[in-house]
Each structure stands twice: as C-alpha cells, then as structure tokens.
Amino acid sequence: SPTVPSKKLNLPHESAVPVGGKTKGETIEAVAGDWQSFTFRPIRESQVSRAMTRRYFSDLDKYAESDVVIIGAGSCGLSAAYCLAKARPDLKIAIIEASVSPGGGAWLGGQLFSAMVMRKPADAFLREIGVDYEEDGDDSNYVVVKHAALFTSTLLSKVLQFPNVKLFNATAVEDLITRPREDGTIQIAGVVTNWTLVSRKASAHTLEALILTLFLQVSMHHDDQSCMDPNTINAPVIISTTGHDGPFGAFSVKRLVSMQAIKCLGGMRGLDMNTAEDAIVKGTREIVPGLIVGGMELSEVDGANRMGPTFGAMALSGVKAAEEVVKVFEQ
Ligand code: AHZ
C-alpha cells in the first residue's frame, strides 16, 4: 500500500508517539469496585492553580522563541504539525488556535453529517495516523471514515503527545512580525498574539482600526477597554492554515495584502472537487519569505476553487507544508 506521498519527510509507518504513556500506578479495576470506602487523595486549591500556571507560563517562556509557528489547528494545520513534529523532533513547534476547541471545520464531514470522505491517495495519511476507513464506490477512488471526529480527535491526540509541540488555544494571531530584507521586501519573523476572548469584531473609531476590522476581523476591545497590547512569538518560519475567508479565516494572507507584501487576493472560487484538491496540495508553498500557506487559506491567495466536504487535500497540503518547512531549515 502506498505511503504518505512525501519522500522528503521520510515518514516511517510506526507511530512516533509512545502509546500508554510513561506513568505507572494502579489499574482502573483496582480503583473501581469499593465505592463505599472510595476517596480522592487530598489537595490544596493552590496546588491546582500552581500546577496549571507554572506550566503555562513556562511554555510561554519556552515558545517565545519557536522554530515554527502554525497558525490555525484545523485539519491542514494539525496534519502539518503531525508530519513536522515526527520528521523533525529537534524543532520547537507552537500551534496558535483562536478557538477554544482545535480542529477547525473537521468535526463533521459536511453540513451536519458525521462521515468524512477522503479521496485517494490521502487514504495513506489515515493509515499513517491509524484511523480506520471503508472503501466506497465501484471505482474505489475514495474512502470514508465513519465519523470526522474520529479523524480529528486521533490526529489531535497524536499531535499533542509530541514533546516538541505546544498548542496555545483560545489565542488568536492578530498580526505578523516582519523584518526588512535587503531587496526591499519583507521577511515574516514571528506572530503577534492575544487571548481570543479580548479579540472580537470591534466597532472601529479610527481609520486604522476600521481597516484592521474590515481586513482582519480581529481587533481588541478598543471600544470598551483601554488598549490591550498583545504578546509575541519569534520564529523563522510560520505555516498559516487559517481556512478560507470568514469571521476568522484567511487571516495571514489578508494581512499580507493590507501591509502591501502581496498585491491582492485571487479570491476563493466556486466548488469543483476535482480541480480544487489538486490545486491546494500542489500550491502549498512559501508565499513571502518566512510564511508558508496551506489548506483553504491558499484558495484565497490563488483564486482556487473550493472542494467542500472532501478532506484529502487538507491532510496532504499539511504534508507538503511540513516539507516546505524542512526545506527552509535545510537551506
Ligand atoms: O479557528 C480557526 C480554525 O480552527 C483558526 N484560525 C483562524 N484565524 C486564526 C487566527 N489565529 C489563530 N487569526 C486562527 N487561529 O484556523 C483554523 C482553520 O481551520 P479550517 O478547518 O477552517 O481550515 P483548513 O484549511 O484546515 O480546512 C478547511 C476545511 C474545508 S472548508 C471547505 C470548503 O468550504 O470548500 N472545504 C474544506 C475541506
């Protein structure tokens, strides 16, 4: 059976993520049973607080200088994170996800239906992460996973177990860090972040705020709070997979237009599954130095068609985005 079509990442088939964890202790059978005498071990509230905050702030400290930032933990961003974390355990990878729940649109197969369709050869990615599927149709050109949530939860759980990955969810990227290059163009050198809960569609009081609101749909509570300055993460390479235009989507490419790093967006075209999936995978690339764009965000740059409820291109665009990152580090 074909492997994930990436010769460059050289992904072996066995899982890089240890199953079962490192921790030892009583089995659940030993814990359960005698509910009359059952009791949890004691704790002081401050221990809980410190257990969480110590780790969170240590992660903020550690990932303030990352090797790679992935913006958006949808199907494409998570696929990229999986491939990259597995191929390059030496890289520190931060994932920034605006929503509390990572996964983007991939919790359902389409509309409100459970099953998820993947066109071949993306079935190789399902085998890679260990998600079961059925062959469907007379021509066996596509496979079906019984629930999109099975794909997303499996992929997410594997990504989160890599020691070189940190997911910051409920955190939005609200700008890009840039550096001037000798040829007059810019290099993307990191991301500007804020709690998503202090970001929302704002009513704009200044021209600058109006432009930000219209272009980015991410703005701070300027109207009911004083300015809440953001935080930053430096990284030599960013993968942006924020999805197609919408309340939060196409974030980085819209910002590239507003900062005049690219001229304009092609604008996502109508639905054509056959054309769309090939175009998104093949087109996944570094759009400006330091910024690789994949998944449906790319359709807004290239004027590519949408594919609707087939997800193979999201997985394989993630594979290609990971390859593009590896290329940058090998230069
Ligand atoms: O919350 C967003 C989602 O989880 C997140 N995101 C967007 N803007 C962000 C920002 N900071 C941090 N400024 C941000 N996170 O990005 C994620 C995008 O996931 P998605 O599932 O929308 O995009 P995808 O490209 O991975 O998958 C697209 C799925 C679609 S849409 C479609 C069609 O309409 O034709 N077809 C497919 C397969």
What DSSP designation does 310 have? B
Whole-number pLDDT of residue 229: 86
* Number of CB atoms found within 10 A of residue 306's CB: 17
pLDDT at 3: 54
Q: Is the pLDDT of residue 313 over 60?
A: yes
Asked if residues 136 and 296 have their Cβ atoms less than 8 Å apart, the reply is no
* Ligand 1 centroid from CA 104, angstroms: 5
**pTM of the full predicted structure?**
0.91
Omega within 30 of 0 (cis) for the link into 5: no
Q: Is 173 in the pocket of ligand 1 (CB under 6 A)?
A: yes
Q: Find, among 142, 151, 148, the residue nearest to 121 by Cα.
A: 142
Tens digit of each residue's pLDDT (9 = 90 or more) over 206-264: 454 445 444 454 555 656 777 788 999 999 999 999 999 987 799 999 999 999 999 99
Given ligand 1 and candidates 192, 233, 244, 319, which is best to mutate, with the most ligand atoms within 8 Å of its CB? 244
Q: What angle do CA 305, 306, 310 make, to 5 degrees?
A: 135
Q: Which tens digits make up the pLDDT trace of 265-278? A: 999 999 999 999 99
Token pair recorded at residue 294: 């994949």
pLDDT digits (tens, 9 = 90+) for 79-96: 999 999 999 999 999 999
Distant-in-sequence, close-in-space partners of 18: CB < 8 Å, separation ≥ 6: 161
Does the interface ipTM go beyond 0.90?
A: yes
Structure tokens at 141: 């050109």
Domain 65-102+148-330 falls under CATH 3.30.750.24: no
* Cα gap 106→268, rounded to integer Å: 19
Binding residues for substrate: 76, 97-98, 105, 173, 229, 244, 296, 306-308
66-82: per-residue pLDDT in tens? 999 999 999 999 999 99
User: What Rg do the C-alpha atoms of the chain give, in angstroms?
Assistant: 21
Using the mean position of ligand 1's atoms as its centre, give its distance from the Cα of residue 314 in Å: 10
Q: How far apart are CA 318 and CA 293, in angstroms?
A: 10
